[in-house]
Amino acid sequence: MQTSTITEQQAIQHAHGHDGAHHHTETFISKYIFSLDHKTIGKQFLIMGMIWAFIGGSMSVLFRIQLGWPDETFPILERIFSSWFTDGKINPEAYYSLITMHGTIMVFFVLTAGLSGTFANILIPLQIGARDMASPLMNALSFWLFFIAGVIMFASLFLPTGAASAGWTIYPPLSALPQVSPGSGNGMTFWLISIVLFVASTLMSGLNYVSTILNMRTKGMTMFRMPLTVWALFFTAIIGILSFPVLVSCVVLLIFDRSLGTSFYLSNIVIGGKALPFAGGSPILFQHLFWFLGHPEVYIIILPAMGIVSEVLAVHARKPIFGYKAMIFSILGITVLSFLVWAHHMFLSGMNPFLGSIFTLFTLLIAIPSAIKVFNWLTTLWKGNIRITPPTMFAIGFISIFISGGLTGIWLGNSTLDIQLHDTYFVVAHFHLVMGVAAFFGMFAGVYHWFPRMYGRMMNDTLAYIHFGITFIGAYLIFWPMHFIGLSGVPRRYYSFNEIEAFSQYATTNKIISAATIVVFLAQVIFLINFFWSMFKGRKSTQNPWHANTLEWTSPIEGVHGNWEGELPTVHRWPYDYSRDPESDVDFIPQTVPLSEKEKADKLHH
């Protein structure tokens, strides 16, 4: 019933002509490469993110092979990566370059650009009823800056001295002095330049997202009628705008220390019995500046995933998201607190222990909005009518993994427990689950959910089930045992566990983890096959395949420049009117449907 009204409206709008849509002849290059259309730019971010995820993931396979089978030799790998291997084994330098690159690529290129970039671009204009971003040109520039940053980062892998190898957190003095680590030579210079370009890209897109959301909402789309995806992307952009510039200042001071002989981060350094001429700097200053971005960064990664999961759950559970406003305020709470917790990465860095107590307090406070969100998701499922489609599976997997990884945050945010757990494998388990795997699950939920919106076709369900099953089980097989390894005192970032007796007992566990890593990595190939195959050969999607309420499903499925032919849609209600009327046989009321007389009388509307 509802769908037919929409098609009628569209037919009418179509007859009005193309006053809103911009039509001009497009070449292949202007349409697919240097496009200004937010939908194309979103897809560019997605494909680029997938390429980077593949590169970053294959790096983890390489270093997991070393950790799982430290005594074996792999001549075949040596033939492929000859400069990284000696006698069939990976070199420690190459190992540390790979973990550094894996972290950098996953955090910045995949889970920031790939996740936010994709969904902010595709969803913001479509869900608020705008023709495009506030500045399509800046939007395109943002993608191309990200692309160049990626090219530079990738090129650094082929430098004779190797890529940066000081960990993705690049703490000086290790990252500042080429004498102490070959990766801190040109590799680090490339890293720093790449990140500065990346931040410029993030700022351009962030400012664009915020101004689009604030200024370009269609008629009737008040802030409190926006889907939670848009709210999440809105706060994500704000966090990025406020914190990423601090990373630039942090990085620029490091560049000065490296090339101009300043001493912002360096003091009293002795190498090989020779005192270096640095005085008065503090390596701890770097950590403060780095984590002032570094911690908000994890919320930049997880908030969009949370938004996607909220939307996907409501649609597929056929139920309004529980506590819409509580969800918004908890995102706001997370946003504010995300700026007050950075030093929980530094409890044992040498900063004053008094600061540790303050940061423990704020850090544990952030557990409260996170808990509210989890309880609200659970209540959304309660008494729902849940369709377990591929996006739903990944959304549910997200919640499970977010709980598992989030609860250990209460351990690590506690400065006293951090004395035992800091920088052990427990931390690796925690953050991979809560912001790595969880964010990936949010991303997969989003891709499976909006694929029909992006390409007008459905993805294959069977392949998606296999993909989900292997990835979900694999995620736990990989990261759950790391909690125990960490609780046994084993530090992270070790090239081998055989040298120190106390840490050498987990050979079998490490083999299992490495084997699971390889299987999970291969399972992502199933996703890639599904993605590209469905793009051309998938079942054709209907206009609104999930029976969702939000505006993006009213825009023509083939995708037109300007998003809607004729006038922009008008919004009359919030996006979560699912199963509103128990009498009706349709269990959703799109945002474009005016309130009925009965609803007006009820005053129940949102």
Q: Which is nearer to another protein, 2 or 379 (CB)?
A: 379
* Interface with another protein, residue 511, by CB under 8 A: no
* Minimum distance of another protein from residue 566's CB (angstroms): 28
How far is Cα 392 from Cα 312, in angstroms, rounded to an integer?
6
- What are the residues whose beta carbons fall under 8 Å from the beta carbon of 562, sequence distance 6 or more? 20, 21, 22, 131, 132
* Interface with another protein, residue 456, by CB under 8 A: no
Q: Which is nearer to another protein, 151 or 522 (CB)?
A: 522
Range 392-451, binding another protein (CB under 8 A): 393, 396, 399-400, 403-404, 407-408, 410-411, 414-417, 419-420, 422-424
One-letter amino acid of 433: L
Among 5-13, 214-222, 379-387, 559-567, which window interacts with another protein (CB under 8 A)? 379-387
# residues near another protein by CB under 8 A: 129
CB of 164 within 8 A of CB of 101? yes
Q: Which of 123, 145, 166, 293 binds another protein (CB under 8 A)?
A: 166
Binding mask 118-157 toward another protein (x if CB under 8 A, else -) reads ----------------------------------------
Q: Which is nearer to another protein, 207 or 410 (CB)?
A: 410
Range 259-318, binding another protein (CB under 8 A): 266-275, 279, 281-284, 317-318
How far is Cα 575 from Cα 606, in angstroms, rounded to an integer?
9
* Interface with another protein, residue 180, by CB under 8 A: yes
* Interface with another protein, residue 21, by CB under 8 A: no
Q: Which is nearer to another protein, 131 or 457 (CB)?
A: 457
CB of 6 within 8 A of CB of 106? no
Q: Which of 14, 505, 594, 598 binds another protein (CB under 8 A)?
A: 505
Q: Note every long-range contact of 356-361, with CB atoms under 8 Å and residues 24 or more positions apart, other chains counting.
A: 356/415, 357/415, 359/415, 360/413, 360/414, 360/415, 360/416
Q: Which of 22, 383, 598, 600 binds another protein (CB under 8 A)?
A: 383
**The pair of three-digit structure tokens given for residue 500, joined into one six-digit string:** 């120190």
Q: Which of 260, 325, 536, 603 binds another protein (CB under 8 A)?
A: 325
Cα Rg for the chain, rounded, in angstroms?
Answer: 25
* Minimum distance of another protein from residue 333's CB (angstroms): 10
Q: Which of 427, 533, 418, 564 is nearest to 20 (CA)?
A: 564
Q: Which of 37, 231, 203 is nearest to 128 (CA)?
A: 231
Q: Which is nearer to another protein, 583 or 597 (CB)?
A: 583
* Minimum distance of another protein from residue 146's CB (angstroms): 27
How far is Cα 492 from Cα 424, in angstroms, rounded to an integer?
5
Q: Which is nearer to another protein, 33 or 522 (CB)?
A: 522
Strand ranges (DSSP E) for 128-191?
none
Q: Which of 473, 507, 557, 595 binds another protein (CB under 8 A)?
A: 473
CB of 324 within 8 A of CB of 606? yes
Range 72-111, binding another protein (CB under 8 A): 76, 91-93, 96
Q: Which of 482, 406, 390 is nearest to 441 (CA)?
A: 390
How far is Cα 416 from Cα 467, in angstroms, rounded to an integer?
40
Q: Which of 496, 515, 556, 595 binds another protein (CB under 8 A)?
A: 496
Q: Which of 364, 535, 557, 595 binds another protein (CB under 8 A)?
A: 364
Q: Which of 514, 576, 590, 599 binds another protein (CB under 8 A)?
A: 576
Q: Is the peptide bond before 569 cis (omega within 30 degrees of 0)?
A: no
* Interface with another protein, residue 348, by CB under 8 A: yes
How far is Cα 361 from Cα 212, in angstroms, rounded to an integer?
35
